[in-house]
A and B are shown apart, each in its own frame.
Chain A
Amino acid sequence: AAGVIQSPRHLIKEKRETATLKCYPIPRHDTVYWYQQGPGQDPQFLISFYEKMQSDKGSIPDRFSAQQFSDYHSELNMSSLELGDSALYFCASSFRLAGVSNEQFFGPGTRLTVL
């Protein structure tokens, strides 16, 4: 079965650079979510999109932005990178049933290292 695809899987950037992470949800899923997991930490919700509109917002820094495109894939743009942005970034997708988000399926994550 198709799963959530994230690219790249690994990314190394310098401080103050920009990074773009991509997420391709499971076919027919209409909602995507972004999470950040620091070393030894639990995943923290960043932002979600439903039908290309922002659905919920969590602890996403102002330096980060995200969007969902017409084909439902999503991109997380990160600017002015800081050392503390080094983390595993997960994307998840789901579909809504009766107005409620169903089970979220997680991608393998993108490991971002900021030097």
Chain B
Amino acid sequence: AQSVTQPDIHITVSEGASLELRCNYSYGATPYLFWYVQSPGQGLQLLLKYFSGDTLVQGIKGFEAEFKRSQSSFNLRKPSVHWSDAAEYFCAVGAGSSASKIIFGSGTRLSIRP
């Protein structure tokens, strides 16, 4: 069965520091992978997605992620975080017929230290 694991429940980094959020997936075929961000009480915003092609994906707000098939990973990175990046981050995989549903990881809460 398809699944997504985000091993870090909560991460705190200093403003201006680099960030890496981990994500591992389990999926039989070539996965469709996503990173979403959710601020408290808000909806889900797509940061970036991987469908095929270049394994290093650029997203919005300065985020990027690298698909590594050998490690079944899709880690999210940002070279320098801003206080406004504090939020919940969800890694997800598209599954089902025609990738018609998204399976989310449990999320990583990012806090920014001033």
Contact = CB atoms under 8 A, between A and B. Distances in A.
Interface of A: 31, 33, 35, 41-45, 48, 50, 55-56, 58, 90, 92, 96, 99-101, 103-109
A41 B98 CA distance: 25
Interface size of B as a range:
20 to 34
Contact of B99 (A101, A106, A107): A101
Interface string B29-50: 0001010100000111110010
B105 A107 contact: no
Contacts of B104: 42-44
Give the dominant DSSP class at B's interface: strand
Interface of B: 32, 34, 36, 42-46, 49, 90, 94, 96-107
B101 A48 contact: yes
Given A55-B97, A56-B96, A101-B98, A43 B44 contact: yes
